[in-house]
Each structure stands twice: as structure tokens, then as C-alpha cells.
Amino acid sequence: MKHLVDIHSERCIGCTRCMRACPTEAIRIINNKASLIQDHCIYCGNCIINCHKSAYKVYSDSFANLNKYQIKVAIVPLAIFGMVADEAELGGIYKILYNYGFDEVFDLSGICSLLSEKVNEYIYNSDKTYILTHCPTIVRLIQLKYPILLENLLPFDFPFEIGAKVIRKIVSDKYQISEAKIGISYISECLSNFIAVKEPLGKQGSNIDNVFLFNDLIRNNLDKKTGLTNLVKSGVHFCQTGAYQHINKNNDVLTVDGIKQVDEVMENLYLNKINAVKLIEAYSCVGGCVGGNFTIENTFVAKWKASQLFEHTKTNDDELLNQYRKSLTDNDYLFSELVNPLSSYQLSDNIKQSLNKMSKINQILKQLPNIDCCACGSPSCHAFAEDVVNKVKTIDECHFFRKEK
């Protein structure tokens, strides 16, 4: 991740805001500067939006990369439906991207509409509670913190990956060129999708060739003159939370957004406290994709705009959906590899050493005030005790301990 997200140390003042916002305790303040424990990061982007000094820099791809391709395709994120109130405005965003040099622009409404049919079919095949896999941060949270819940994850790939597979085939047919000559770029609305493209889950790599940040490319200067889009009305709702709850008539979908709330719900599932739920529709960002870190609209205004877009859209969904259906195989919907656990929270590879470290952590904790003041530069007294045992910090860095001494 180092080459993708960096902290400008000259901007950072060590204020601890990002550290306190991080749901996985992946940030420490060392020598008055924020420092990232990359293995603990789930790419929620909370640190970026909470830093008032704009110290976090995300490196997207260079536009020069596009020159390699004969046909350049842009896929716009679902969050776009919260930034436009009608199809003409959506067309305006398409037009901005054509002006950047893209030959084709697609949105993900059709893909999500088809994917939801697959999800609804799949969840009733067993008595498990499934977890939706639209948001890569949720998948990474499960990999890192609740590996036992990996068997509850749906097997379906992220919408932009499924989209890239089908769009490559459609464009190849249209222009009669090989798929290798087509460059697909994703205009990402959040850090989560951005990193999922750059550092995909398995060895096989992403189906997306380049990724750009939405707010780098598109500001508020929408051009209303172009109305042609490939919008599928039934897919508009998937830009926000509650889409599955909305289409599922059985009242057995639990919807949750905001990574801290999601974490609590996953803990409940882990403790077997959630029953009679078929699907947990979980998103890292508040409001779902419309709340993404790189969007340009207030989340609640975006939710309202998405409803407006739905109301004002008069597309013939069937024609587009049939085109996608013809090009998609059952395998195209699935992750190409198994989603495996990640073990960055292990204290050691050796069980004896782990237990030893655990007992040292508990001894240190007894000497700390346990008020999680963050003044030591660790996000909690427990994390500080762990840092002391791992020799990242010394116990004297606790102000209370020093004062007592």
C-alpha cells in the first residue's frame, strides 16, 4: 500500500485525529507523526476524511497509461447515481469522461441489477446468514478480524470486477478488436475500491487496468447537453444502503453502514446472536457507496438525488439487461479465487511466545490508567501495552505512568 497511500510528514502535526478514527487500530503517532501499520488496514478511508491537514496522499494512475490502448473505456461507480438528479445530468458526467479521451463509458446499474437476482437466488439455498460482498472493506474486515465468518461471505465478485469482465466482451464485439487492446479504467468513489483494484484479493489480478479518483476528475461542472447513457433503472438503488432490503420481500435482510457499526454487527454474528437473517447488507461508508471518500456530494443529499433519478428514469431495462446477460457466464459473477484469512493480529507465529506476550501485555495494562486518552500516540491503553511488548514504544511514553513514577 506504501506506493498507493502516503502520509506527508511535513503536513502531519501528530494531532491523533486519524488514529482515533481508525476502526482497526492501524495508526500510531511516532515522533509526533502519523504512521501506518499496513497489515491492520482495511482501507475504509476514515483516516483520510478525518485529517484536517490533508496529510494523506492517494496516488492514482497516470493518464499517460491510457495511450497503450486502442479503445479506452471508463466505468463510473455506483455512487454517481447520488450526484445526478436525472439522466441528462448523468449524461453530463459521461460527457466529461468522453472529453478526457475515453471512447466508451459504462455505469454499473445493469450489473448490480443482474447480480441482485443471483444473490437472491443463492441465499435461499442454505440456512446460513450470508454477508454481501459489494464492499471490499467488509471483505477485508472479515479476512482480518473474523476469519471464521469467511464461510458466510457470498461468493460473488465486486460489481466493478464483474462489470469489467462483461464490458470488455461487449466492447471487443462492437469494435471487432481483441480484448487485450481495450483499456478499462475505474473511476473510484472510495479508497476501498481503489485499493481492491490495485491490490486484488487473489493472484489472478484485477480486470481493471487503471484506476482514477472520482473527485480528481469530476467536480460540480456537470454538462446537461448529453443525455445518452446505459442506465438500468432497477440498478439505481444499489448506490446506497437498503437496496436488498427494498427488493427482498421476506423481511430477512439486515442492513448496516459505517465501519464501526458493521464491526459490531459482525461480532454479533460471530457470537451467534443473529438468527433468521438471510443476508447482511453491509457497507463501510455511511449511506453505502454514495458516502464514498472521493465523492463530491453530501451523503444525505446524494440519497435523495438517487431517489429522484429513479423516479425520473424511463429506460427500457430489458434490452440492456439482455445484452449483459448474453455476455456473462455464471463464472463471471464469482471470485476467481478463494477468499483467505489474513493473520496480522497474531502476536507471534509460535503459540508459546504468543501466550508469553499476552501475559506481558496484561501485566503492563495493570500499570496503565485504562482511559484510552491517546496521548501516548497509541489508540488505546491495550494497543499501547501491545506496542510496548512489541518494542514499538516504551512504557515511559505513557504520561500517567511517568507521573506516577
Which residues would be at the binding site for ligand SF4 (CB under 6 A)?
Answer: 7, 12-18, 21-24, 26-27, 34, 36, 41-47, 50-51, 53, 55, 191
- Count other C-beta atoms under 10 Å from residue 354's C-beta: 13
Return the H-helix or E-strand segment holding 363: helix 351-366
Phi then psi for 102, rounded to 5 degrees?
-80, 140
Tell which residue, 253, 260, 309, 291, has the closest CA to residue 120. 253
Q: Give the cell for residue 205.
A: 489480478
3-state secondary structure of 111: helix
- Count other C-beta atoms under 10 Å from residue 185's C-beta: 28
Which is closer to ligand SF4, CB of 189 or CB of 209? 189
Rounded to the nearest whole angstrom, what is the least distance from the CB of residue 44 to ligand SF4 in the complex? 4
Rounded to the nearest whole angstrom, what is the least distance from the CB of residue 39 to ligand SF4 in the complex? 10
Tell which residue, 328, 66, 79, has the closest CA to residue 184. 66
Rounded to the nearest whole angstrom, what is the least distance from the CB of residue 191 to ligand SF4 in the complex? 6
Would you say 220 and 296 are in contact if contact means Cβ atoms under 8 Å apart? yes
Which is closer to ligand SF4, CB of 54 or CB of 272? 54
Rounded to the nearest whole angstrom, what is the least distance from the CB of residue 369 to ligand SF4 in the complex? 22
Rounded to the nearest whole angstrom, what is the least distance from the CB of residue 223 to ligand SF4 in the complex? 33
Which is closer to ligand SF4, CB of 25 or CB of 332? 25
Which is closer to ligand SF4, CB of 45 or CB of 82? 45
Which is closer to ligand SF4, CB of 18 or CB of 90? 18
Which is closer to ligand SF4, CB of 57 or CB of 224? 57
Would you say 104 and 71 are in contact if contact means Cβ atoms under 8 Å apart? yes
Q: Give the cell for residue 32.
A: 509526533
Rounded to the nearest whole angstrom, what is the least distance from the CB of residue 158 to ligand SF4 in the complex? 17
Secondary structure letter of residue 103 according to DSSP: S
Strand ranges (E), 53-150 = 56-58, 71-75, 104-106, 130-131
